[in-house]
Amino acid sequence: PTVHYNMGGIPTNYRGEVVTLKDGDPDSVVPGLMAIGEAACVSVHGANRLGSNSLLDLVVFGRAAAIRAREVVEPGTSHSKLPESSIDPIIARIDKTRNASGSTGTAEIRDNMQRTMQRHAAVFRTGPSMNEGCEKMDDVFASFENVGVKDRGMIWNTDLVETMELENMLLQAQSIIRSAANRDESRGAHARDDIQDRDDENWMKHTLAWVDEKGKVSIDYRPVHMNTLTDECEVIPPVARTY
């Protein structure tokens, strides 16, 4: 199994500015940081993106982000010099991964991750299955400490690239399965066989997830904006999708 599209992503406002939860404000803008496309969550797709809407998302909010960037960035302004403390961890990660000498190959760990996610966090889910998957994914995540990279080169090193990609996917997998197991309802693409109804009273909210270096997931929430940006459109409340 491979990923087709990420629903969710970096929270942004309608201008492409990244927002975060700060001092109780779920829409606090992170100055100078923007996100668009599949990396971002403008929250226009709800819990289940419809086909082809990703292109509309990219075009509309890509333009909005460009307009906003033009408003806040003065042409010709030079970048502030980054402190060494912000660069060192990036270089250290590359060196650590390139020189990893464990006994487990990247492909083996990736295969374990894919099989675990396919079995326990696929289209149809149950609480017990997801909880079991969380425990298995903890083990898979921990096994990355024993990963081995054979190619030490600095030119066209696909072994290094694939291993760094795997680390990113492990972080993503932890976020996905823990967030899913935590949500006691069915909503959009999150379809639980054991809880088939949507619970707007308790779960009409976005999940925010942080994953630390050890794979531990911290979860918080931000509200779903139900108001429109103009008086010309009325708010359309969510209804059950039936066929």
* pLDDT per position as a tens digit, 114-156: 999 999 999 889 999 999 999 999 999 999 999 999 999 999 9
Quote the Cα angle for 40-44-45, to 5°: 90
Q: Tell me what pLDDT residue 191 has.
A: 93
pLDDT at 1 over 60: no
Q: What is the pLDDT of residues 213-232, one digit of tens each?
A: 999 999 999 999 888 888 89
pLDDT at residue 2 in the model = 62
Would you state the pLDDT for residue 24?
Answer: 86
Domain spanning 87-243: CATH 1.20.58.100: yes
3 state DSSP class of 76: coil
Please state whether 37 falls in left (phi above 0), alpha (psi between -120 and 50) or beta. Answer: left
59 Cβ contact partners less than 8 Å away, ≥ 6 residues apart:
none
Tokens in use for 224?
């779903």
Using one digit for the tens of pLDDT, what is the confidence trace for 85-97?
999 999 999 999 9
Report pLDDT for 157. 97
Q: What is the mean pLDDT of residues 161-178?
A: 97
For 10-57, how does the pLDDT look when each residue is reduced to its tens digit (9 = 90+)? 999 999 999 998 888 999 999 999 999 889 999 888 888 887 888 888
Q: How far, in Å, CA of 79 to CA of 116, rounded?
A: 43
Report the pLDDT value the prediction gives residue 218, as an integer from 0 to 100.
Answer: 97
pTM value? Answer: 0.90
Question: What is the model's pLDDT at position 195?
Answer: 97
SS3 assignment, position 25: strand
Domain with CATH 1.20.58.100 in the chain: 87-243
* Contact assessment for residue 156 and residue 212, using Cβ atoms and an 8 Å cutoff: no
At 3 the pLDDT is: 66
> Can you give the pLDDT at residue 243?
66
